[in-house]
């Protein structure tokens, strides 16, 4: 049986990354997976070669308008649409279709949090696409609707999860994450012009304003009875791709470096896409570009009584498109690592 896949919002960064990965997927190369409709409302009628020159296998394909009619009839539909647009389309597709949403429409369990940070009607919650969170692989495997996480919450959750679940910290957490400009999407914006970003760093949506803040707290709260408090500061850097996340929280009495390291090693020992670095090595964005990996480091700061967690991932791969393909693999019972590179591009 051939699985037919559509990508809505194919010309955006998330859609383009999904296509890049699918074109190297073993099931595509064997003919068992077919790339069907590619849609993009503002680019309908244009060829892929005009918009995404890095995908020569699809160069002659035409971009179609994003409608339910065009997307219907596919076995898998990836939604790489702006927030607020996925819900209407996703809810109209057949219940038998595997729909994987890369926007925020179905990430939050709390309708009040949705209204505060996004506004508009609350669409509900779909199974959440971080397989490394305990219990989530099982939910994803049986799902026909999946919400891909935000890129910031992915890096933060993978950095902090063993510490929270293992009771290493008091979950009063300060997170700073430095991101490349592709995280803002492929829309025109003066603030994202090269002349505005090159040679400069800028914090934005500070003091609890960033939309990913409640998603981080939601993820971590599942694994502790303590109240989780998250203070999140995102920083824009002149990089195309990559997120470097640092998180700091008070240590629980008696936690040593040896305990912290053993906790993280045990938590991630069977996770193919999380690499716990040896002592003395720090995650670097240059080591994860183009890969579906998250590199993690855990350090005890004895002087301050804090635990420092650091992670690095590619916001377009493990942070979005790679996560979407990883979830597809699980839901379709393919090998989870199919089509997903572990090695980064260097230099």
Examine the residue annotation and report whether 294 is marked as an active-site residue of this protein. no
Considering 102, 151, 294, 327, which one is annotated as catalytic? 151
Residues 6+ apart with CB under 8 A from 41: 65, 66
Going by their DSSP bridges, the two strands 243-250 and 306-313 should be labelled as: antiparallel
Instruction: Give 3-state DSSP helix, strand, coil % of the chain, rounded to 5.
Output: 30, 20, 45
Which of 54, 71, 50 is closest to 62 using CA atoms?
Answer: 50
Tokens of 178: 């430095």
Separation of alpha carbons 26 and 55, rounded Å: 17
- Residues facing residue 312 across a β-bridge: 244, 295
Residues 6+ apart with CB under 8 A from 330: 131, 137, 140, 141, 336
Q: Do the beta carbons of residue 74 and residue 302 sit within 8 Å?
A: no
Give the active site residues.
151
């Amino acid at each position: 049986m051939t699985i037919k896949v559509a990508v809505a919002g194919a010309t955006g960064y998330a859609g383009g990354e999904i296509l890049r990965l699918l074109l190297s997927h073993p099931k595509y190369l064997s003919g068992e997976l077919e790339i069907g409709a590619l849609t993009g409302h503002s680019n309908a009628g244009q060829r892929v070669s005009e918009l995404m020159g890095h995908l020569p296998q699809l160069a002659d394909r035409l971009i179609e308008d994003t409608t339910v009619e065009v997307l219907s009839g596919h076995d898998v539909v990836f939604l790489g649409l702006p927030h607020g647009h996925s819900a209407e389309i996703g809810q109209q597709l057949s219940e038998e279709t595997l729909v994987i949403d890369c926007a925020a429409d179905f990430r939050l369990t709390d309708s009040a949090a949705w209204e505060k940070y996004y506004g508009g009607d609350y669409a509900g919650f779909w199974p959440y696409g971080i397989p490394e969170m305990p219990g989530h692989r099982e939910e994803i495997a049986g799902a026909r609707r999946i919400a891909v996480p935000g890129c910031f919450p992915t890096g933060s959750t993978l950095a902090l999860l063993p510490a929270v679940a293992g009771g290493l910290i008091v979950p009063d957490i300060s997170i700073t994450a430095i991101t490349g400009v592709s995280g803002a999407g492929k829309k025109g914006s003066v603030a994202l012009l090269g002349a505005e970003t090159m040679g400069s760093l800028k914090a934005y949506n500070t003091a609890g304003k960033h939309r990913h803040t409640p998603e981080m707290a939601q993820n971590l709260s599942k694994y502790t009875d303590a109240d989780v408090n998250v203070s999140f500061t995102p920083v824009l850097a002149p990089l195309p791709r990559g997120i470097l996340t640092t998180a700091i929280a008070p240590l629980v009495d008696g936690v040593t470096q040896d305990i912290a390291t053993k906790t993280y090693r045990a938590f991630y020992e069977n996770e193919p896409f999380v690499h716990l670095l040896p002592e003395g090595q720090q995650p670097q964005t240059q080591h994860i570009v183009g890969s579906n990996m998250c590199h993690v480091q855990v350090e005890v700061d004895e002087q301050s009584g804090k635990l420092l967690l650091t992670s690095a991932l590619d916001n377009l791969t493990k942070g979005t498109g790679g996560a979407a393909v990883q979830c597809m693999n699980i839901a379709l019972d393919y090998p989870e690592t199919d089509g997903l590179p572990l090695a980064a591009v260097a230099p």
